[in-house]
Amino acid sequence: MPGAATRRTRARPRSGRSPPALAEGLASGLVVLVDRYVAMTRATQRLVVLTGA
């Protein structure tokens, strides 16, 4: 197909941010928390917790 290599498609973002209160009822394969919240229960496969030392 001529010109197919030059076409650009808009990919949907694969990540997002939301406060714990808005994440109620949602589940995700990977959840990264900046601080500890009840949101720790939202991960279905992996959970990453960042803490300051």
Per-residue pLDDT tens over the stretch 1-49:
555 555 566 666 666 777 767 767 777 777 776 766 666 777 788 888 7
pLDDT score of 8:
63
Q: Which residues contact 3 (CB under 8 A, 6 or more apart)?
A: none
Is position 38 within any domain? yes
- Domains of the chain: total: 1
Which range marks the domain in which residue 32 is found? 27-53
Determine if the pTM surpasses 0.85. no
Is position 6 within any domain? no
CB atoms under 10 Å from CB of 31, counted, come to: 19
CB 38 within 8 A of CB 21: no
pLDDT score of 53:
63
